Amino acid sequence: MTTTITAREAAEVERVNATGRQPVDFVHGLWLLAESWDAWRTPFEERGYAALAVDWPGDQADHAAAHAHANSLSGVGVGQVADHVAEVIGTLDLTPIVVGHSFGGLLVQIIAGRGLASATVSIDPAPSRGVLPLPFSALKAAFPVLGNPANRKRTVTLTFDEFRYGFANAVDETEARELYDTFHTPAPGRPLFQAATANLDPTTEAKADKRTPERGPLLVISGEKDNIVPWALANAAYKQQRKNGHSATEIVEIPGVGHSLVIDGGWRAVADASLDFLDRHGLARHDAGPDQS
């Protein structure tokens, strides 16, 4: 079978395996790239982990290339991305911790449900089957995609005002513009349609096995001011995951932050909450020493 692993990802896996450390696999969501996790690598590496970030099938190398090839993710769906992340994980020597944001937060729940994670941090996760609330702010934030059924097979580039409402409502105008110009990239519309219809479609790809014995501890992080995934959605995801009777499930709300919480000026508080969770569940690697990679 033809691999979907890119040369960049293969190099990341080789580097991580060479360290012998506990891998932490970061998974981005819509309108971002793997590079959105660059700042997170340092605190995790300093705590003894080996960090890598996966792509979505069709992702470009960087922000400029993503805009130059705006249609490269057209039609990409949740199942395709989950299978790709699983393939990358299959080349790691150790079962990773997985950390995901937005649709990445849903993807890491899917990966955990397959028993492929030692622990999971799901940050402002996109809704999956079983998550029932429909907050107005979430519907408004998704309207640029869901408002046109043709977007199911297309990619969508947000306007600044759409990005400001959905991602960057909790930061000032200057930072919002900087985030838009630095991080925002075209994203496939299909995952949003899959999430929107998940509770109507028993065969949906937008679902995670919540009861897997091998799931491991799982943390849901909610941004207090998130418009795309407000507390009602994050808490509903937590309640679904709490059905797992084999491992701990926790939720925490980070005050004062919106959906851009992994890339804006408040990202360190979110990273620290993730690291504290891993510490509490015995996954800390303070004794790992300097990275020799």
Q: What is the pLDDT of residues 220-237, one digit of tens each?
A: 999 999 999 999 999 999
Mean pLDDT of the chain: 95
User: What number is the average pLDDT over the span 202-221?
Assistant: 96
Task: Inform me whether the pLDDT recorded for 252 exceeds 90.
Answer: yes
Exposure pattern of 231-246 as b/e (b: 16+ CB <10 Å)? bbbbbbbbbbbeebee
User: What number is the average pLDDT over the span 156-182?
Assistant: 98
Domain limits, the chain: 7-288
* Residue 287 pLDDT: 46
- Model confidence at 292, pLDDT cuts 50, 70, 90, reads very low
- Model confidence at 290, pLDDT cuts 50, 70, 90, reads very low
Tokens 């091998």 appear where?
214
Task: Inform me whether the pLDDT recorded for 269 exceeds 80.
Answer: yes
Residue 13's SS3 state is: helix
Superfamily of domain 7-288: Alpha/Beta hydrolase fold, catalytic domain (3.40.50.1820)
**Among residues 25, 213, 48, 219, which one has the least CA distance to residue 120?**
219
Helices 38-46, 267-280: axis angle to 10 degrees equals 40
* Residue 93 pLDDT: 98
Encode pLDDT of 185-195 as tens digits.
Answer: 999 999 999 99
Structure tokens at 162: 């759409």
- Model confidence at 284, pLDDT cuts 50, 70, 90, reads low
User: What number is the average pLDDT over the span 210-229?
Assistant: 97
> CA of 106: how far to CAs of 15, 92, 125, 289, in Å?
26, 21, 5, 32
User: What number is the average pLDDT over the span 200-214?
Assistant: 95
* Residue 291 pLDDT: 43
Q: What is the end-to-end Cα distance of the chain in Å, rounded?
A: 30
Task: Inform me whether the pLDDT recorded for 1 exceeds 90.
Answer: no
**Residues 6 or more apart whose Cβ sits within 8 Å of residue 190:** 75, 76, 77, 78, 152, 153
Task: Inform me whether the pLDDT recorded for 288 exceeds 90.
Answer: no
The Cα 257–Cα 173 span in angstroms is 14
Encode pLDDT of 32-79 as tens digits.
Answer: 999 999 999 999 999 999 999 999 999 999 999 999 999 999 999 999
Q: Which residues pair with 250 in a beta bridge?
A: 219
* Residue 293 pLDDT: 38
* Residue 26 pLDDT: 98
The Cα 288–Cα 26 span in angstroms is 20
**Among residues 108, 104, 135, 110, which one has the least CA distance to residue 205?**
110
**Among residues 278, 194, 280, 262, which one has the least CA distance to residue 29?**
262
- Model confidence at 283, pLDDT cuts 50, 70, 90, reads confident
